[in-house]
Structure 1
Amino acid sequence: MDYSIFMAKMQAIRKREGFEGQRAIVLPKKILEVCGYTLPINSLYLTDIGFYPRAQFHYRERPSGISAHILIYCLEGKGWVELPSGNVNINPNEVLIIPAEMPHKYGADDKNPWTIYWAHFKGLQSAYFVNLLTKQFKSFVNDNIFLEERIKIFDMIYRNLESGYSLDNLFFASTSFQYFLTTLTFSDKFASAQHAVEKDVVDLSIEYMQDHLDTPIKLEALAASVNLSLSHYSNIFKRKTGYSPIIYFNHLKIQHACQYLQFTSLRINEISSKLGIEDPYYFSRLFTKVMGLSPVEYRHKKR
């Protein structure tokens, strides 16, 4: 690929609002701090995770790398990567691993853009997994047969984080992602088993929150949605998630605010309104408290 032509096109075509069907979660700074000191989550944890379908004009250039390791799993289409060791084309059912701090460039193919599952991860054992993967691959890019069960694991991790940042969720995401990496390393040994799990009142309450992110729900309404008294509901919710229901609900709102900021051109007051928060100044303060930077700073950073 002629990268000068690609870059010229990148200059001529503004970054789109996003890719139709895209999903992405960026864990807040304060949550990452919790991951960094909480056993056993600190052994391996996600900082970012997402899915980009037909990601035309997708491009990243990081001359000094980033502090997290990067995994890109190409499902369809094509892409490319430029590493210190050389340039490599990426095809369907290939996995790209970029170790932390490694300079790199990568992007979607101009004519047949890739569809990718991707993740950034850290942790005390993260370098071990990166080393294990690259040794098994004998390179930073290698084939990995498509298995629907593996994609289900990735989607399960995403849905779990999408429901909030309780310690239970973080622990589940951490151990599940470790399993996901293991399925890539030992693909021939991978087999899945599905187990139905009955949802408890906290799970049902979180689903209710997700269905009402555009409204300003009070604690009484949340308790009533699962037919529990206010005190009993608050106690069992905090016992399972580590957060009060309202704080948890606000985390879900901010998570969706991140999506609006990154993938749309909506103004701050419009995003605030979509999330059932009438005062955009309160929304900005809440966002800054949760994410560690203002909505404007977050949008600028991600773009």
Structure 2
Amino acid sequence: MLSLHSVNNDCFIPNWQTPLEKIPWNVLVIVLEGKVDYMINNKRLILEPGDIMFIPESSYRTGKNHNHTLHQKYTVLFHLTKEMRDIPEFLTMDDFTKLQSKNFNYIKHRAEKLFMEIRGNNTCNTFICDGILQELLGSIGRELQSSQVNPMKLKYAQTIQRYIVEHYREAIDINQLAKLIHRSPNYTIEVFKEITGYTPIQYIHHLRIMEGCSLLLATDMTIDNLSNYLGYYDASYFSRTFKKFISMSPKEYRNQESTVSSSEFV
């Protein structure tokens, strides 16, 4: 299982550096802007915007700003037990893994969500954060294996995915997505599911429901308003879809958290 320790947003810190040490966690680094110098197990590398690096626990690591310039990045620190099923291969390796992600907007979006969620005070935040982290690691693992996938299929799926991530709260139909890659609707569904494991519609629902979980805990939006905001325009359909993904209704999800929070003061 995963055990999340912390999520940091290093945002243009002057004279940033981290000393040479044997790190007690696994570290996921996601670089947004600028460049970063790292030395990992006596190997030097420079990370640039769009780079993702996984540093396994017990590695020797040091880092600093590249040529005294500033940078912005997310770092995610976590523990991992090997008993997890279907674990991405890169998480089992003893050396670091570096990737220039073709799905970086999506990775950035999920890292931002993880950074915000871990700062919440609600009990369910831990559950949500573990899910986001697992999704992030799984997406990276899938992309690392994508060299075995037909490059054109991968390009099609990435085009569709980028569009969905940017527009998932809007009304999107399969014909609209098919036009993006100039292929038939049936082919669009098949190639996206082959690469991502989701149909386009399942992926849209997934992003909306994860956003809904956050908003239920962080805001006092009504279910009707939340439904409209997420693009459902029918509160009953939103509730049914939410329950299908989370195994409880939006109201039950919010009330359960309220009950837990109130009990802390009894």
After superposing on structure 2, the runs of 4+ consecutive aligned residues of structure 1 that deviate more than 6 Å are 126-131, 198-201
1:172 aligned onto 2:189? no
**Kept in 1: contact 2:40–2:96 (CA 8 A):** no
- List per-residue Cα deviations over 1:195-217 (Å, max 9, x = no partner): 163888765469xxxxxxxxxxx
Letter in 1 for 2:208: H
CA gap 1:237/1:95 in 2 versus in 1, 3 angstroms: closer
- Which has the larger displacement, 100-109 or 238-247? 238-247
Write the mapping of 1:92-111 to structure 2, written as runs, cut at 5 A.
92-111=49-68
CA gap 1:148/1:205 in 2 versus in 1, 3 angstroms: same
Report SS of the residue matched to 2:118. Answer: helix
Q: Find the partner of 1:60 among 18, 24, 35.
A: 18
**Kept in 1: contact 2:50–2:101 (CA 8 A):** yes
Bigger relative contact order (CA 8 A; separation at least 6): 1
Aligned counterpart, 1:240: 257
Matches of 1:147 and 1:181 in 2, distance apart? 13
**Kept in 1: contact 2:7–2:118 (CA 8 A):** no
CA gap 1:241/1:169 in 2 versus in 1, 3 angstroms: farther
Identity %: 10
Q: Find the partner of 1:185 among 141, 150, 171.
A: 141
Q: TM-score, normalising length from structure 1?
A: 0.48
Matches of 1:50 and 1:183 in 2, distance apart? 20
Unaligned runs of 5+ in 1: 1-42, 207-235, 249-303
CA gap 1:200/1:97 in 2 versus in 1, 3 angstroms: closer
- List per-residue Cα deviations over 1:84-122 (Å, max 9, x = no partner): 241111122111221112111012213432210111011
- List per-residue Cα deviations over 1:225-265 (Å, max 9, x = no partner): xxxxxxxxxxx9784267434859xxxxxxxxxxxxxxxxx
**Kept in 1: contact 2:50–2:104 (CA 8 A):** no
Q: CA deviation at 1:78?
A: 0.5
Write the mapping of 1:1-303 to structure 2, written as runs, cut at 5 A.
43-63=1-21, 65-125=22-82, 132-133=89-90, 140-166=97-123, 168-187=124-143, 188=154, 189-190=195-196, 193=204, 194-195=207-208, 197=212, 203-204=218-219, 239-240=256-257, 243-245=260-262, 247=264
Unaligned runs of 5+ in 2: 144-153, 155-194, 222-252
- List per-residue Cα deviations over 1:174-208 (Å, max 9, x = no partner): 111110111222235458533163888765469xx
Report SS of the residue matched to 1:133. Answer: helix
Letter in 1 for 2:60: P
- List per-residue Cα deviations over 1:147-178 (Å, max 9, x = no partner): 32222212222222222250x22111111111
CA gap 1:243/1:114 in 2 versus in 1, 3 angstroms: same
CA gap 1:245/1:150 in 2 versus in 1, 3 angstroms: same
CA gap 1:117/1:146 in 2 versus in 1, 3 angstroms: farther
Report SS of the residue matched to 2:106. Answer: helix
Q: TM-score, normalising length from structure 2?
A: 0.54
Aligned length: 175
Report SS of the residue matched to 1:57. Answer: coil
Matches of 2:9 and 2:258 in 1, distance apart? 26
Report SS of the residue matched to 2:111. Answer: helix
